[in-house]
């Protein structure tokens, strides 16, 4: 049991570090790179972002170790404690001190999400039983939520842009987890069974699209406004779609259902508290200034290459 707890907490700490480094790199990119593959292309050439990806790989290794010795119902709630590491670390790096509101919001999200996952304890089911009709319905529902979140992203301002982008990202990544389960279930049948399944190719599309959405969410605002929503939406979508397609069951009854609902409610309230806090607004303003500076440097560089003075530079 000690190995399970330490490995799960190690995974959470590494996921936290990975998120902080990736958001730090992505938040400095100019606004015209949002939802553009240029964002990922530029990030791939930044050591800070690549280090974050490396930490994420290490985190998955810790997660696999924890799952090898313990049940998912114990491991996953411990991993979501990454929020307790990630949000304070991100604020520290940006020179912003968290107040009572931010700490309460962070603990509410982490504790509520952990409680919901621990009490619902989804399990069972068979990924091989799903037919095409339910798959198409699930795909349509996921696409509707993701598109709706992106439409809302266009109309909101401030840190809420990061949250709605993160909602789209978490929805896609939750569906990606379901596709991964389906693909893994086919592996014992051989390479041809995996290669001939359309879910395998949709898994690749969802993984790549999810990466772009996550990095775009990181670019839009503070880590607390994005990672909390991603960590909430991803398991919720995975559980709901898994229960619909594979017949996975949830633990219900008194008092489990009350604790699950209370955990979800605490998570939502924590996200609202963080998004409306002064510290998150201050972090967002700092990110905007960094993005504007990056855009100005890029404009100056292009003007110099083209032999034209930039309007913001002194005349020669």
Q: What string of pLDDT tens digits covers the 316 residues of the chain?
A: 788 888 888 888 898 899 989 988 888 888 778 788 889 899 999 999 999 999 999 988 888 888 777 666 667 777 777 888 888 888 888 777 888 888 999 899 888 888 887 787 766 666 666 678 888 999 999 999 999 999 999 999 888 999 999 999 999 998 988 888 888 888 888 888 888 888 889 999 999 999 999 999 998 888 888 888 998 888 888 888 888 887 767 776 777 788 888 988 999 999 998 888 887 877 777 767 666 666 665 555 554 555 545 444 444 3
Q: What is the pLDDT of residue 314?
A: 43
For 79, the token pair is 């991993």
**Residue 311 pLDDT:** 47
Mapped onto helix, strand or coil, the DSSP state of residue 12 is helix
- Residues across the chain: 316
Q: How many CA atoms lie within 13 A of 2 on its CB side?
A: 0
Residue whose token pair is 């967002």: 284
Write down the pLDDT at residue 204.
92
Q: Rounded to whole angstroms, how far apart are CA atoms 164 and 141?
A: 17
> Residues 6 or more apart from 107 whose CB is under 8 A from it?
84, 270
User: What is the Cα–Cα distance from 289 to 27, expressed in whole angstroms?
Assistant: 10
Structure tokens at 110: 């982490």
The answer to whether the CB of 48 falls within 8 A of the CB of 24 is yes
Q: How far is CA 269 from CA 101, 102, 113, in A?
A: 11, 12, 11
Distance of CA 153 to the CA centre of its chain: 16
The confidence score (pLDDT) of residue 316 equals 37
**Which DSSP category does 277 fall into?**
S
Looking at residue 165, its pLDDT comes to 95
Q: Rounded to an integer, what distance in angstroms lies between the CA atom of residue 110 and that of residue 78?
A: 9
CB neighbour list of residue 111: distance below 8 Å, 6 or more residues apart: 263, 266
Q: CA–CA separation, 277 vs 279, rounded Å? A: 5
Specify the residue for token string 């409680």. Answer: 115
**For residue 277, which of 109, 165, 31 has the smallest C-alpha distance?**
109
């Amino acid at each position: 049991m000690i190995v399970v707890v330490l490995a799960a907490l190690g995974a959470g700490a590494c996921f936290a570090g990975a998120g902080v480094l990736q958001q730090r790199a992505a938040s400095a990119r100019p606004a015209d790179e949002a939802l553009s593959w240029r964002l990922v292309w530029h990030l791939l050439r930044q050591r800070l972002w690549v280090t974050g990806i490396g930490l994420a790989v290490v985190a998955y290794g810790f997660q696999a170790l924890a799952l090898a010795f313990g049940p998912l119902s114990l491991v996953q709630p411990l991993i979501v404690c990454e929020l307790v590491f990630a949000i304070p670390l991100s604020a520290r790096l940006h020179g912003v001190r968290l107040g009572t509101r931010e700490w309460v919001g962070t603990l509410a999200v982490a504790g509520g999400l952990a409680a919901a996952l621990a009490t619902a304890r989804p399990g069972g089911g068979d990924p091989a039983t799903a037919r095409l009709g339910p798959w198409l319905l699930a795909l349509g529902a996921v696409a509707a939520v993701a598109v709706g979140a992106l439409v809302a992203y266009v109309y909101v301002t401030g840190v809420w842009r990061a949250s709605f982008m993160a909602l789209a990202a978490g929805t896609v990544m939750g569906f990606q987890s379901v596709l991964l389960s389906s693909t893994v279930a086919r592996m014992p049948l051989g390479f041809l069974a995996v290669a001939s399944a359309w879910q395998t190719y949709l898994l690749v599309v969802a993984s790549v699209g999810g990466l772009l959405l996550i990095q775009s969410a990181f670019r839009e605002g503070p880590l607390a406004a994005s990672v909390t929503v991603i960590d909430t939406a991803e398991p919720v979508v995975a559980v709901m779609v898994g229960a619909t397609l594979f017949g996975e069951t949830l633990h219900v009854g008194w008092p489990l259902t009350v604790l699950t609902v209370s955990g979800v409610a605490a998570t939502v309230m924590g996200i609202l508290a963080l998004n409306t806090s002064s510290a998150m607004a201050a972090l967002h303003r700092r990110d905007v200034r960094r993005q504007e500076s990056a855009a100005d440097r890029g404009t100056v560089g292009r003007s110099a290459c083209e032999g034209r003075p930039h309007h913001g530079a002194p005349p020669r």
